[in-house]
Amino acid sequence: MNAKLSSLVNAAGAAAAGGHWQEAERLWNQIRALDPDNVQALYSLGVHAFQRGDSQTALELLQQARLRAPRDPMILLTIGRVHREIGRPEKEWDAISAALEIDPYFLPALLGKAEFLEQQRQPRIAAGVFRNVLKVAPDEPEWPPALRRRLAHAREVVERDTQELVDYLGHRVAAKRTTVDLALAGRWDEAVSILAGRTQPYHSHCNQLHVPRLPALTFYDDALFPWMRELESRTNVIKTELQEMLASRGEEFVPYIQYQPGDPVNQWDKLNHSRNWSGFHLYAHGEPVAEHLAQCPRTAEALALVDTVEIAGLCPNAMFSALAPGAHIPPHTGETNARLVAHLPLVVPEQCSYRVGYDWRQWREGKCWVFDDTLEHEARNDSNQLRVILMFDVWNPLLSLAEREMATALAGAMRDWRAATDVV
């Protein structure tokens, strides 16, 4: 393209961008006079003709542009738009399909396909295509401005279709659900959610030792922990020691998240070195905090009841875990599924909730639960008061004694490997 032509193209584009349509059209005609096969001029003049209501001229110009740029999906989509306006839906569908044959991931074409199906009163098929649109589209902050409104509509359609599907599936299996053991009912609620596309399956993600073939259970059955009822019976004496520690040693509740400068903090940026989530440690990374245990003898006695997991450098951990009013612990996963984590709630205001995988629960003072922290989990304190629990590690009861020894040996070997001096 020579300099004069390039200058005219830039001027025409600027005029159109500024809303000066007559000037833009005049310049595109000049460009076409100099270069009759110029694709930009043919395409733009076709758009101008369409805007004036001259659909026949628009189609002629756009078809000429297509002959010269047969692999440009945007030209095909524009041809389809003209056909829509003059009442030729079959031609519009052909144009959309041809555009997607060129590029199956072309976002405007996928949107056009979904919108066409929606207009043809095929809402469920349209919702499926809108789902694909949202998979291809970037995250919302990066949505192209020209497509933002259409993408927002796509999201609304998908959300509505998902809810309708969840309701439909739930209704269809409601009778059978009543025959399922209550402890397993949550499994089938989640199956409905996954099948409808509302959530994805939650898998175990271990930051350190992963034991294969253990089930990815969220909250474990209380019956697997014979120490639980006795521990719960000691809630009041443990809570008394907690309150004494808050009053006399509150400064020793230290931020739970403590990354060093230069470390990638990822989801922990708001909690790094923040007392919004703090702990008074009784055991930390496998070592007892002797001074704190001495200050809390009744709590130490209670912890001695449990099936404490011992993996050098990793477990046990036990602490009074304090979550400040309004604080949120973001979704994260733990170190190993060889151990589980137990909570004994001690100070629990209203509007405090906890999620493990698909399952949301609310703490209830004195009621212990045990969960697999290698499944994504998060905590919320939406109240205006402090929430405190006793948090501690226990062995996964699905491991035999021999497997516990294997887990300990593997974790120890990995620790030694990392600590060893390289030999040249």
Domain parsing of the chain, residue ranges: 3-164, 222-419
Instruction: Give the separation between CA 403 and CA 397, rounded to whole angstroms.
Output: 11
Helix ranges restricted to H, 277-389 = 290-295, 297-303
Report the pLDDT value the prediction gives residue 318, as an integer from 0 to 100: 98
Report the pLDDT value the prediction gives residue 422, as an integer from 0 to 100: 54
Instruction: Kindly give the pairing relationship between strand 377-381 and strand 339-347.
Output: unpaired
> Nearest CA to 147 among 134, 160, 158, 157?
134
Instruction: Give the separation between CA 371 and CA 368, rounded to whole angstroms.
Output: 10
Report the pLDDT value the prediction gives residue 38, as an integer from 0 to 100: 80
Residue type, 371: F
Report the pLDDT value the prediction gives residue 183, as an integer from 0 to 100: 61
Q: pLDDT 10s digit of each residue in the chain, 424 long?
A: 577 777 877 777 777 777 777 887 787 777 787 888 888 888 888 888 888 888 998 898 899 989 999 999 999 999 999 999 899 999 999 999 999 999 999 999 999 999 999 999 999 999 999 999 999 999 999 999 999 999 999 999 999 999 999 889 888 888 877 777 766 677 888 988 999 989 999 999 999 999 999 999 999 999 999 999 999 999 999 999 999 999 999 999 999 999 888 888 888 999 999 999 999 999 999 999 999 999 999 999 999 999 999 998 899 999 999 999 999 999 999 999 999 999 999 999 999 999 999 999 999 999 999 999 999 999 999 999 999 999 999 999 999 999 999 999 999 888 887 777 555 4
Residue 136 and residue 105 in contact, taking contact as beta carbons nearer than 8 Å = yes
CB atoms under 10 Å from CB of 293, counted, come to: 16
Q: What is the DSSP letter of 69?
A: -
Report the pLDDT value the prediction gives residue 421, as an integer from 0 to 100: 58
| CATH architecture, domain defined by 3-164 | Alpha Horseshoe (1.25)
Residue 202 and residue 376 in contact, taking contact as beta carbons nearer than 8 Å = yes
**Based on the number of CB atoms within 10 Å of its own CB, is 394 exposed (0-12), middle (13-18) or buried (19 or more)?**
buried
Instruction: Give the separation between CA 390 and CA 344, rounded to whole angstroms.
Output: 5
222-419 and 3-164 share a CATH fold:
no
Domain 222-419 part of CATH 3.30.1330.30:
no
Distance, C-alpha 7 to centroid of its chain:
47
Report the pLDDT value the prediction gives residue 424, as an integer from 0 to 100: 45
Instruction: Kindly give the pairing relationship between strand 339-347 and strand 369-371.
Output: antiparallel
Instruction: Give the separation between CA 184 and CA 137, rounded to whole angstroms.
Output: 37
Tokens of 210: 């992963």
